[in-house]
Amino acid sequence: MPILPDRRYTLEEYFALELSSDEKYEYFDGEVFSMAGASLAHGQIVANVIVSLRNSLRGRPCRVLPSNARVKVPSLPPYRYPDITALCEAPRSESIGGLDVLANPALIVEVLSPGTEAYDRGDKFTHYKSIESFAEYLLIAQHRPHATHYVKNADATYATWSYEELNGLDQTLRLATLDCALTLTDVYQDVEFPPTNVPPLERR
């Protein structure tokens, strides 16, 4: 939720807040949103994915960055904080408001929360597409072993995206931009799912 929602911030005030605080905040149209307060499951999934990817990419010139990495999103300035960002080329950074910002992510991973899922699947994905280098998007559920995986298809006239849905811990996906595999067993290691509410059988 926004901090001090009864006032609006200028970009200069937002940058000053970012420079002076250990917390992460995102800016949107004058409002400032705290990025703190993720659930235990959310944090565990992020940690699992980072460890798995770094192990798979060891010895290769790839980077896997946690949620404190700022990413430039041209259509949603000044920048965003994805849960995980990765690339297998030299990182290109820019200075925005006196802060280093990554300009060429290839893979972006978001762990879905009830309050952000619709935004992550919709408007945020649309804005991420304004990043020229962005070519792969992975959305991971918290409450069950499920992931949605999008890959950009280069086309002569325009770019389209293919996608797949993965259900169950026995599923494995191939990350095209990193040329490595990620299993949902690794993604959900040590994650406890909420109990499934099964309605009682109707009496006949």
> Is 131 in the same domain as 158?
yes
Regarding whether 82 and 149 lie in a shared domain, the answer is yes
Region 148-170: what's the mean pLDDT? Answer: 89
- Look at residue 194 and tell me if it is in a domain: no
Return d(Cα 43, Cα 51) in angstroms, integer. Answer: 12
What's phi and psi for 11, nearest 5 deg?
-60, -35
Range of the domain at 176: 38-187
Q: Are 178 and 52 in contact (CB under 8 A)?
A: no
The pLDDT score that the predictor gives to residue 195 is 82
Gap between the Cα atoms of 108 and 128, Å rounded:
9
Q: Is the pTM higher than 0.75?
A: yes
Q: Which of 36, 37, 44 is nearest to 193 (CA)?
A: 44
CATH number of the domain where residue 146 is located: 3.90.1570.10
Asked which of 13-22, 54-63, 110-119, 154-163 is least confident by mean pLDDT, the reply is 154-163
Residue 2 has pLDDT above 80, yes or no: no
Query: What is the domain count for the chain?
Result: 2
Place of tokens 């949603």: 76
Based on the domain organization, do 28 and 111 belong to the same domain?
no
Place 35 in a pLDDT band, splitting at 50, 70 and 90. Answer: confident
Residue 26 lies in a domain: yes
Per-residue pLDDT at 153: 92
Asked if the structure places residue 195 within a domain, the reply is no
Kindly report the number of other CB atoms within 10 A of residue 150's CB atom. 19
Decide if 197 is inside a domain.
Answer: no
Looking at the fold, whether 8 and 75 belong to one and the same domain comes out as no
